[in-house]
Amino acid sequence: MNAIISASELTSDLASDNPPVLLDVRWQLSLAKAAGEPSFDGRAEYAAGHIPGAVYVDLDRELAGPPGAGGRHPLPDVAEFGAAMRRAGVSSAAPVVVYDGGQGWAAARAWWLLRWTGHPDVRVLDGGLPAWEGELSVDTPQPAAGDFRPTPTSAGLLDADGAAALARSGVLLDARAGERYRGDVEPIDRVGGHIPGAVSAPTTDNVAPGGRFLPAQELGARFKALGASDGSQVGVYCGSGVSGAHEVLALAVAGIPAALYVGSWSEWSSDPSRPVAVGPDPQ
């Protein structure tokens, strides 16, 4: 199954006998997060207009645990995540489509969490809400409670030690902007730079202008040039496990499975004993 869905495909699926559950995860990282303030919350935008039937999901509160030693967006409590998904109407037998404001990062985080916890049918709306050409609704749906029970596995998930090991034995991609990877700037975390051995692979290079993913063949060629291809052991990290999920999604579109280091640089860099590399080279 493709990990993404076009707006026209979504329109068709919504009219089918088994329409998907729609989740609206509009969110954007705020640099104020470094000062302990919340990130941009898309609830007001959701209230002003959303795809009919979509339920709003709060990334900071429902797709992540409280910030701390595990990073700025650590894994949520699994039981609380499952309860949030059931409140949104998510069931194991019903497909799910997730969208955000177009950047794709927040939607990818929801996609990754649902897939990691065992949901078999989750896709991201390619291009997000801006790609939607249908009507918008201001009505807040009250879906029937779903039955989804998350069953996470160790597959697809990296911790700090696993990320460090993969940087030596496989391919660890850093999805942040190049200047943060190099350590030229660091607007949020304690120190700039990257995990030694990680390869710079900004997730913004996986999309065309407008936010839609490049064709699968182009993505495959890009990742192959970075050392990642089908059969490779591949992992991804970013600042706090959000844009990294978007890169894992791009890899999935290219047919390359990859694991996510959720704690990412916000966890790694918080420990002064962990090594930090700077400059354009992995080492």
- The number of beta carbons lying within 10 Å of the beta carbon of residue 17 is 4
CA angle 165, 168, 169 (to 5 degrees): 85
Structure-block tokens of residue 261:
């280091």
Active site residue 223: no
Q: CA distances (Å), 9 to each of 125, 160, 203, in order?
A: 9, 38, 24
What's the rounded Cα separation, in Å, for the pair 79 and 70? 18
- Pair 143, 88: CB distance under 8 Å: yes
Structure-block tokens of residue 2:
């493709």
What's the rounded Cα separation, in Å, for the pair 142 and 160? 40
Per-residue exposure over 131-146, b if at least 16 CB sit within 10 Å of its own CB, e if not: bbeeeeeeeeeebeeb
Q: CA distances (Å), 265 to each of 37, 51, 227, in order?
A: 19, 34, 21
Per-residue exposure over 51-83, b if at least 16 CB sit within 10 Å of its own CB, e if not: bebbbbbbbbebbbbeeeebbbbbbbeeeebbe
| H or E stretch at 172 | strand 171-174
Spot the catalytic one: 238, 250, 252, 259: 238
CA angle 158, 116, 189 (to 5 degrees): 45
Q: Which residues are catalytic?
A: 238
